[in-house]
Amino acid sequence: MARYIESACRLCRRENLKLYLKGERCYSDKCAFERRSYPPGQHGQGRVKFSNYGVQLREKQKVKRMYGLVEKQFRNFFVKADRMKGITGINLLLLLERRLDNLVYRLGFANSRSEARQMVRHSHFLVQGKKVNIPSYLVKVGQVIELREKSRKIAKIGESLEGVARRGIPSWLELEKEQFRGRLVSLPSREDLTMPIKEQLIVELYSK
């Protein structure tokens, strides 16, 4: 499947928002968005006026890039959210938050979602005691995510867990740091998702 392999910092600048795609670098003075908080390219510092469609498109691109998905994956999540009971936009965000790679990142086992996705792919994690290597696996409430025994000595994971205090653990998750495991306690409410996302714009875009 196609993956974006260019500079991740360009994506933050393009969306005019720090997406935390580079882990610890995003918290340091080296963060490209902090140094040049305008879109990349020759005309990046020019004034741009978006149409309604342009605003909707940028919102969709922002969320898609935040969670590290390609277009087909993202649209499939939207279709699934649209078929569920409740508000489509909120359903979409809840589905994205339940992805295994996202929860691995949220629990502090990885410094970024791309790093978490790679760890899941390499079979470092168990869900309810069973090996799962699918990043898009949807974790259910109450399920336990655990680092495999042989993976607990990986220095990078240890360093990430040491820095988890800076990011904090969401209230809807529970981390047992010494046991290298965490649990999805409950589904987050819309107020728990603090990133500046206007999910209704995405619904409007896909509903055209």
At 138-165, the pLDDT tens digits run 999 999 999 999 999 998 888 888 877 7
- Give every CB contact of residue 19 below 8 A, 6+ residues apart in sequence: 8, 11, 12, 62, 65, 66
Distance separating alpha carbons of residues 95 and 91, to the nearest angstrom: 6
CATH number of 99-184: 3.10.290.10
Widest pairwise Cα distance in the chain: 53
Kindly state the tokens that stand for 71: 């277009």
At 18-58, the pLDDT tens digits run 666 555 555 556 565 555 665 665 555 556 677 889 889 98
Q: What percent of the chain has pLDDT over 90?
A: 55
At 168-198, the pLDDT tens digits run 889 999 999 999 999 999 999 999 988 888 9
CB 60 within 8 A of CB 74: yes
Kindly state the tokens that stand for 141: 């409430």
Phi, psi of 144 (to 5 degrees): -105, 130
Residue with tokens 């918290």: 27
Bridge-partner residues for 147, per DSSP?
A: 125
Domains in the chain: boundaries: 99-184
